[in-house]
Homo-oligomer: A and B are copies of this chain.
Amino acid sequence: MLSGNVSKIDVLIIGAGPSGLMLATWMARMGVKTRIVDKRFDRINSGQADGLQSRTFEIFDSLGFGQDIWREANHMLEIRFWNPDRSNKLYRSDAIVDTVPGLSRFQQATLHQARVEDHLLNYIRKHSEIEVEYGCMPESLSINMDMVEGDDEYPVAMTLRHLVKPVAKTETSNDPRKPVIPNGLYRSNIAADTTDALLQNAQSTEGTRTEKILAKYVVGCDGAHSWTRRQIGSVMEGEHTDYIWGVLDIIPITDFPDIRYRCAIHSSSGSMMVIPREDRYVRLYIQVTDTDESGKVIDRFKINPENLVQAANNILAPYKISYKHCHWWTAYRIGQRVGSKFSAYERVFLAGDAVHTHSPKAGQGMNISMHDTYNLGWKLASVVKGQAKRSLLETYSTERRQIAKELIEFDQRFSRLFSGRPAKDIMDKEGIDLTTFKEVFEKGNLFASGCAVDYGSSPIVAKMSYPGNARSDCLVGKQDLAPNVPIGMRIPSHRILNQSDARPWHLQELLPSDGAWRVLVFAGDILEPAQFSRYSAFGKALSSPDSFVNQHKPKGAEGGLGSLFEILTIHSSPRAKVELLSLPEVFHPYSPEYGWDYNKIYVDDRSHHEGHGQAYANYGIDPRRGCVVVMRPDQYVSWIGELEDIDEMNRFFGRILTA
């Protein structure tokens, strides 16, 4: 039973890695009372994840620091394949582009996890008082079942233990010329989980103290050994393989010619992947187990940096590789597993490595983990703030569990092909066909960009029918009005101009992650009187007291930051012929303090210095008649309709949002 000093919190986040921090960005931006705890005492300064996908950069850009990380990161433009020829000599067999051209403003890149966390932490500090509480771990969790459906309840009771920072035990080397290199084995899936031991140890250690709190929501972002996962009885389903790989971060000294390209190398001595990094560093993924002729796995040697670089030399022969600088190393066992459930009663959620593990070579881990909480964050904040109904939260599991499964399927195929021994000839059924490997890799690149995510139908993705969306009450967007703006996917970005000053913007730059739903009014050719009438009529409908804009108005909101909706117009008439102030006021609202709003009306026209974005043509939208696109706060497309379909929009929002 709880009694005494029990504090209340809206959201408790367990774990301050990329997944937990991404969740905290939403809470910070949308003003939700949040705590975030981590059992570690120190930030990670080397190693860990490093791959950043196109979609991840788009998300960072919506938080305002995408361009900063983009400039700091190493860009990976091309993948090179190296295979053994008939006489087992290594040769460069192929080169393919890494990120599909035209897909995104950003391409696949690498930057180590600590720098990514720096940017997330800066953002959180800029927008809130939230600070990570290090050295704090959960000790108990219980959910009061009577309260789970109550909007204002705090059904999750937790005990937290504040640890005492141990006196630093620096690992020292016997040989002063050989400093000890940090490794990640303690977090690797080949090491045992230390959480329980840490907890038992902590309980018996003097100076620690416990704290009881009540939370509305708890999110476990606590990694592959997730403590939270065990509390809610989610089970990791899938398998571990016997394949073990080593990872080495070095500044390479080598005559291998493609060391600054991403390389997939199959040789008779095993496989290796080269991932070029920032600051001259390169990450090598090196196979340290192999199958013998009978398919039995052979463990090659004890894992340490010296043995890893020796294995790399065997694989790369006749090229040689060595180093003077090594930042970090680790090893892991390949396995692909997904949590049996992603939430308990939509009160306790799991995200990131806590619900999916896979091999790191495709550079997906940090990305998918952040995307989990990027998906969850705005939903959770909207519900906590009383703007959205609790049923919105159900879409977290349905949307993200599907993605986790796709990731695991992709990774199974990819890892098997990469870890396998190259086929000696066409009759060698045990061996791997390297042409197939390249094809899988190539197809995988679209998936790996993160831009191919396609969420299924739900109350926030109006495509086809879905359970609860009965035929008699069907709500399906008109996809044919904008064939290249797929409902359920993130909107592609093209350049448009601000009507008021001719400045070009990428459409995505106008969709910051601030919690607002966005209505993109592709107004068509508004110089055409009939079309102007349609546009004006839509404006009038929006202004009506019955419209969703007025039905779901947050208290005290007048537009601007923190508002639930933003209406953006993109018309197709020539910029020079349109007068902003002749357009209906609802589309560029007036404030007695700041005058007219000059940042709501855009145009699909030629810019002075950056060409013509051809947005209507690229989206497949009729430049005369236009259409309306409803965007979720996370830039995914919810619904598409005609300028007359205000009733549909009202129904759409009526199902999700509170009155």
The residues of A with any CB-CB pair to B shorter than 8 Å are: 67-68, 71, 74-78, 95, 97-99, 101-102, 107, 251-255, 257, 259-261, 276, 280, 324-325, 498, 500-503, 576, 579-581, 592-596, 598, 607-609
> Is A99 a contact of B609 with CB atoms below 8 Å?
yes
A593 / chain B contacts, CB cutoff of 8 Å:
251, 324-325
Residues of B within 8 Å of A101, CB to CB, are: 608-609
Query: Within 8 Å CB of A67, what residues of B?
Result: 67, 71
9 example contacts (A-B, Cβ-Cβ < 8 A) are as follows A78-B501, A107-B609, A254-B596, A255-B581, A259-B598, A260-B500, A261-B501, A276-B501, A325-B593
Residues on the B chain within 8 Å of A607, using CB: 77
| B260, A501: Cβ atoms closer than 8 Å | yes
Contact of A608 among B78, B503, B608 (CB under 8 A): B78
Contact A280 B594 (CB under 8 A): yes
Least CB distance, A592 to chain B, in whole angstroms? 8
A501 near B75: Cβ-Cβ < 8 Å: yes
- Pair A503/B595 contact, Cβ less than 8 Å: no
Say how far A282's CB is from chain B's closest CB, in angstroms: 10
Extra contacts besides A95-B576, A257-B581 (16): CB < 8 Å: A77-B501, A77-B608, A77-B609, A99-B609, A101-B609, A251-B593, A251-B594, A251-B595, A253-B594, A253-B595, A260-B598, A261-B501, A280-B594, A280-B598, A324-B592, A325-B594
Across the interface, name the chain B residue whose C-beta is closest to A261. Answer: B501
Contact partner of A595 (CB less than 8 A), chosen from B254, B257, B498, is B254
> Please, which residues of chain B bring their CB within 8 A of the CB of A325?
593-594
Residue of B nearest to A593 (CB): B324
A125 to B245, CA, bound (A): 43
Min C-beta distance of A380 to chain B, whole Å? 30
Q: Judging by beta carbons under 8 Å apart, are A502 and B609 in contact?
A: no
Q: Within the assembled complex, what's the spacing in Å between the Cα atoms of A324 and B75?
A: 47
B253 and A77 contact, CB distance less than 8 A = no
Interface hub of A95, A500, A607 (most chain B Cβ within 10 A): A500
Residues B502 and A78 in contact, CB atoms below 8 Å apart: yes
* Contact of A77 with B503 in the complex, beta carbons under 8 Å: yes
A255 to chain B, nearest CB (A): 6
Chain B residues closer than 8 Å to A252, beta-carbon distance: 595
Interfacial chain B residues near A78, Cβ < 8 Å: 501-502, 608
Instruction: Please measure, in the bound complex, the distance between the C-alpha atom of A502 and the C-alpha atom of B276, giving whole angstroms.
Output: 12
Known: A67-B71, A99-B609, A609-B107. A502 touches B261 (CB 8 A): yes
- Which chain B residues lie closer than 8 Å to A280 at the CB level? 594, 598
Q: In the docked arrangement, what's the CA distance between A98 and B598, Å?
A: 20
Taking CB atoms, residues of chain B closer than 8 Å to A97 are 608
Q: What residues of chain B lie closer than 8 Å to A107, measured between beta carbons?
A: 608-609
Chain B residues closer than 8 Å to A501, beta-carbon distance: 74-78, 260-261, 276
* Cβ–Cβ < 8 Å partners of A102 in chain B: 609
Q: Give the 5 A-B residue pairs with the shortest CB-CB distance, closest first.
A: A253-B595, A260-B501, A260-B500, A77-B502, A97-B608
In angstroms, Cα B259 to Cα A581, docked, is 11
Q: How far is the CB of A99 from chain B (nearest CB, A)?
A: 7
Q: A502 contacts which chain B residues (CB < 8 A)?
A: 77-78, 261
**A102, A576, A608: which has the most chain B beta carbons within 10 Å?**
A608
The listed residue with most B CB atoms (<10 A of its CB), out of A98, A99, A596, is A596
The chain B residue sitting closest to A68, CB to CB, is B68
In the assembled complex, which residues on chain B have CB atoms less than 8 Å from the CB atom of A257? 579-581
What B residues does A608 contact at CB under 8 A?
Answer: 77-78, 97-99, 101, 107
Smallest beta-carbon distance A442→chain B, Å? 14
Which B residues are in CB contact (< 8 Å) with A259?
500, 598
A278 → chain B, closest Cβ, in Å?
A: 12
Distance in angstroms between the alpha carbons of A9 and B644 in the assembled complex: 74
CB A43 to nearest CB in B, in angstroms, measures 21
Cα–Cα distance between A251 and B597 once the two chains are bound (Å): 11
User: Measured between alpha carbons, how far is A324 from B593 in the docked complex, in Å?
Assistant: 6
Tell me the minimal C-beta distance from A62 to chain B in angstroms. 14
Write the chain B residue with the least CB distance to A595. Answer: B253
Return the chain B residue nearest A256 by Cβ.
Answer: B581
Q: Which residues of B contact A324 (CB under 8 A)?
A: 592-594
Q: How far is the CB of A438 from chain B (nearest CB, A)?
A: 17
Cα-based distance from A154 to B498 in the complex (angstroms): 56
Give every chain B residue within 8 A of A74 (Cβ-Cβ). Answer: 501
**Alpha-carbon gap, A500 to B262, bound state (A):** 11
Task: Please give me the residue from chain B that is nearest to A580 by CB atom.
Answer: B257
Complexed CA–CA distance, A280 and B599 (Å): 10
CA distance A608 to B74 in the complex (A): 15
Instruction: Report Cα–Cα, A592/B101, bound state, in Å.
Output: 37
- In the assembly, what is the distance between CA of A252 and CA of B67, in Å? 31
**Quick one: which of A98, A253, A501, A595 has the most chain B CB within 10 A?**
A595
Residues of B close to A76: CB separation below 8 A: 501
CB pair B75 A503 closer than 8 Å: yes
> Using Cβ atoms and an 8 Å threshold, which residues of chain B touch A579?
257
- Closest CB of chain B to A177's CB: distance in Å? 14
Among A280, A502, A592, the one with the most B-chain Cβ atoms within 10 Å of its Cβ is A502
Chain B: CB-nearest residue to A609: B101
Cβ-closest chain B residue relative to A78: B502
Bound CA span A536–B252, Å? 26
Nearest CB in chain B: distance from A558 CB, A: 15
Residue among A71, A76, A253, A254 with max Cβ neighbours from chain B (10 Å): A253
Question: Whole-angstrom distance between the alpha carbons of A261 and B580 in the complex?
Answer: 12
Cα separation A604 to B259 with both chains bound (whole Å) = 21
